[in-house]
Amino acid sequence: MRILAIETSCDETAIAIVEAEPEENEKPVFTEVVTFINSQAELHAEFGGVFPQLAKREHSKNMIPILGNVLKDQETEIVSFSKEQIVEVENILERYPDQKDALIAFAEEHKPSDIDYIVVTQGPGLAPALWVGITFARALSYLWNIPMVGVNHMEGHIVSVLAKENSLALPAVALLISGGHTQIIEVENWGHYTLLGETLDDALGEAYDKVARMLDIPYPGGPEVSKRARAVRESGVDAKFDFPRPMLHSKDYSFSFSGLKTSVLYTIQALQKELAEKNVSHNEATPQALSNEIRDQICFSFEEAITEVLLKKLAFTFDSSSAKSLIIGGGVIANQHLRTILAKFAEERNIELHIPDLEHTTDNAVMIAIAGYFTILREDPSIAPEIIANGNMSL
Ligand code: KG4
Ligand code: ZN
């Protein structure tokens, strides 16, 4: 089964083709045929986060060039559409008038010969961004007569490990940590998931990015915060600030990072005030006025707090679960320290740890294709179905 997948839930426009075989099997093998990602992160940096209308505009602008790249070396044929088909697809593309003609012309010249299904992220994510992918996917499904389904982005993060290995002990627990999500999910089997708990406020990556912002580190600041934390950890110094560990002892699977974030903010403000009082020339003390040593310490103390929370929640989860594997998804697992402590956790508990390759931990279309495969087994794909973007879609 060959799948064309489109992902536009946040600030990455991603399209991929994945081959899934065998078709009806507990352990399908997925082969990445081609994959493209265009990240808008730099464009959003000046807004300090992802700006939905900008994301929408960029997705719509990039969709056809990326499709062109994806189909460049694939077998395609030239087709022509009837007047009725053009009218119908103009209706589908109503909200993207500037892309309409280009897409129709592209579709006429590039009908892929061997795509069995189109899949597209339906949610969760930013609704204006999701709509772009859904609309273009519907137009292609209609013009090329290829059945399609909508896919849950979080299922994509869970199954993203299957891009590199097809054998993994089930049941598993998935910990998804990204800029938009912090969730613990029980994976009874592929396609069968139970959300055990999630963050009540900020996502983990969001907390990293907010702390970064307080320290004047540009968005997305997670990697820089963790780099600074590592420098302190490697120097062997203890954490200077005792930040709160929210919900550490709550006997549930929920997270909350907003109290921790506020505590970091108050600490920074107090330090700035102290500086201003000490030195009249610093009466407008900014985060830059804090020494690098202090800023590194804040990053380190923050990371120590979130590490403890994650470990405690995972311990609670595995204490009451028969799961044999731990799957981690989402951009925050690029964090080397978290990788180290989670590997240690898995070893102590004698469970398998599965982390996708870096290119599959952040948003990508390969994971959407894989999730699409399981969705196709559960649902009835059809031509250009009325899929509604669902910003809060749950598993
Ligand atoms: O999954 P992802 O690429 O995008 C979505 O949020 O969907 O995750 C990006 C998030 C950002 O918040 C970024 O700051 C964070 O992952 N991140 C990190 C690290 N690398 C990326 N957070 C902590 N440590 C890192 N090394
Ligand atoms: Zn994601």
Tens digits of per-residue pLDDT, 57-97?
Answer: 999 999 999 999 999 999 999 999 999 999 999 999 999 99
DSSP readout, 281-311? GGTT--GGGS-HHHHHHHHHHHHHHHHHHHH
77: left (phi over 0), alpha (psi -120 to 50) or beta: beta
Cα gap 75→59, rounded to integer Å: 25
Three-state DSSP state, 133: helix
Residues with CB under 6 A from ligand 1: 10, 178-180, 205, 208-209, 220, 222-223, 226, 330-332, 334-335, 362-363
Cα gap 323→317, rounded to integer Å: 9
Are the C-beta atoms of residues 3 and 120 closer than 8 Å to each other?
A: no
Please name which of 190, 114, 118 lies closest in space to residue 159, comparing C-alpha atoms. Answer: 190
Q: Which CATH architecture has domain 2-157+361-378?
A: 2-Layer Sandwich (3.30)
CA atoms within 13 A on the CB side of 296: 15
Burial 274-303 (b: 16+ CB within 10 A, else e): ebbeeeeeeeebebeebeeebbbbbbbbbb
Check pLDDT > 80 for residue 378. Answer: yes
Are the C-beta atoms of residues 59 and 132 closer than 8 Å to each other?
A: yes
**pLDDT confidence bin for 152, thresholds 50/70/90:** very high
Task: Give me the residue label for tokens 């180290």.
Answer: 340
Please report the pLDDT score of residue 25 as a whole number: 60
Check pLDDT > 70 for residue 23. Answer: no
**pLDDT confidence bin for 290, thresholds 50/70/90:** confident
Nearest CA residue ID for atom 23, ligand 1: 222
How large is the average pLDDT for residues 17-45? 88
- Fold matches, 2-157+361-378 and 169-355: yes
Q: Which fold has domain 169-355?
A: Nucleotidyltransferase; domain 5 (3.30.420)
Q: Of all helices (H) and strands (E), which one includes residue 189?
A: strand 182-189
Please report the pLDDT score of residue 129 as a whole number: 97
Domain boundaries, the chain: 2-157+361-378, 169-355
Nearest CA residue ID for atom 14, ligand 1: 222
pLDDT tens string 206-257:
999 999 999 999 888 999 999 999 999 999 999 999 999 999 889 899 999 9
- Mutate-to-test residue for ligand 1 from 9, 37, 152, 178, highest number of ligand atoms within 8 A of CB: 178
Number of the ligand 1 atom closest to the C-alpha atom of 204: 12
Number of the ligand 1 atom closest to the C-alpha atom of 227: 26
Check pLDDT > 80 for residue 356. Answer: yes
Check pLDDT > 60 for residue 282. Answer: no
Please report the pLDDT score of residue 44 as a whole number: 82
Please report the pLDDT score of residue 297 as a whole number: 97
Q: Rounded to the nearest whole angstrom, what is the distance from the C-alpha of residue 205 to the centroid of ligand 1?
A: 5
pLDDT tens string 92-151:
999 999 999 999 999 999 999 999 999 999 999 999 999 999 999 999 999 999 999 999
**pLDDT confidence bin for 47, thresholds 50/70/90:** confident
pTM to 2 decimals?
0.93
The percent of residues above 90 in pLDDT, for the chain, comes to: 85
**pLDDT confidence bin for 166, thresholds 50/70/90:** confident
Cα gap 292→215, rounded to integer Å: 10
